[in-house]
Amino acid sequence: MKKRKAIVAGNWKMNKTVAEAIALAQEIKRDLADFRDVDVVLCPPFTALKAVGDVVSGTHIDLGAQNMHWEKSGAFTGEVSPGMLRDLFCHYVILGHSERRQYFGETDAIVNKKAKAALASNLKPIVCVGETLQERESGRMAHVVETQVRGSLAGLSARELVETIIAYEPVWAIGTGKTATSAQAQEVHALIRGVIQIMADETVAQSVRIQYGGSVKASNARELFSQPDIDGGLIGGAALEARSFIDIVRAGV
């Protein structure tokens, strides 16, 4: 039995109208409203946060956003602040997803600013890291992941690190149907925990939750989540359908 409680988050990306988001959240709520064995987080697009928040209000299901700006307010057209997310009762925010790093130029320094701003506003950051296929095949996986972890989490206190969730998402496994084997994933999770131990200490490293993400399905979730350093998952495609998401959540027990 692991000391850490598993956490499974659904990243809905740029999918679902408000009506579709409500329907999906209601279906998930019907099954998981009172389920306490795994922390469950729904991350709809900004436009559906209020509606999904209303559906899950009063349950054990938490709300998360997929991104935010680091400033409190100001002339940042199109951006959303940490306080605005708290206003909508978000408790989590995904930061530095590989799609944001790849298409929107997010660097470790930007992710670091966002992580600090999130924590200062009582939002738990889900900080994503992971190597590309080319980086893995050229033997640079460990270096790339360590650099992302150190850069994205630089300057966080021990208390802040414990509040932070790290999502290891090999870029080659996201949305591709190619899952890392449980052994491949476990190897990197252990490596990340080792980096946290060097950045902080053993107690912090053993407390930080590290999710796996990348083509997780109901059929492979249990094996992945049972690895000693894997504490649940960040789920993309399979989170868009209630039954598969619920089955993945229940695999985290």
Q: Tell me whether residue 82 or residue 237 sits nearer to ligand PEP (CB atom).
A: 237
Looking only at the bridges linking them, the beta strands covering 209-213 and 165-168 are parallel
CA pair distance 64, 117, nearest whole angstrom = 15
Q: 97 an active-site residue?
A: yes
Q: Tell me whether residue 81 or residue 98 sits nearer to ligand PEP (CB atom).
A: 98
Closest residue to ligand PEP using C-beta atoms? 236
Where do contacts with ligand PEP occur on this chain (CB under 6 A)?
11, 169, 174-175, 213-216, 234-238
Q: 91 an active-site residue?
A: no
Q: Tell me whether residue 205 or residue 213 sits nearer to ligand PEP (CB atom).
A: 213
CA pair distance 83, 173, nearest whole angstrom = 33
Could you tell me the CA-to-CA distances from 103 to 93, 96, 147, 203, 228 in Å, in that order? 18, 11, 20, 36, 33
Q: Least distance to ligand PEP from the beta carbon of 53, Å?
A: 21
Q: Are 106 and 96 in contact (CB under 8 A)?
A: yes
Q: Are 2 and 249 in contact (CB under 8 A)?
A: no
Q: Least distance to ligand PEP from the beta carbon of 33, Å?
A: 24
Q: Least distance to ligand PEP from the beta carbon of 190, Å?
A: 20
Instruction: Name the catalytic one among 97, 99, 135, 189.
Output: 97
Q: Tell me whether residue 153 or residue 180 sits nearer to ligand PEP (CB atom).
A: 180
Q: Least distance to ligand PEP from the beta carbon of 59, Å?
A: 23
Q: In the beta sheet, which residues pair with residue 65?
A: 93
User: What are the residue numbers of the active site?
Assistant: 97, 169
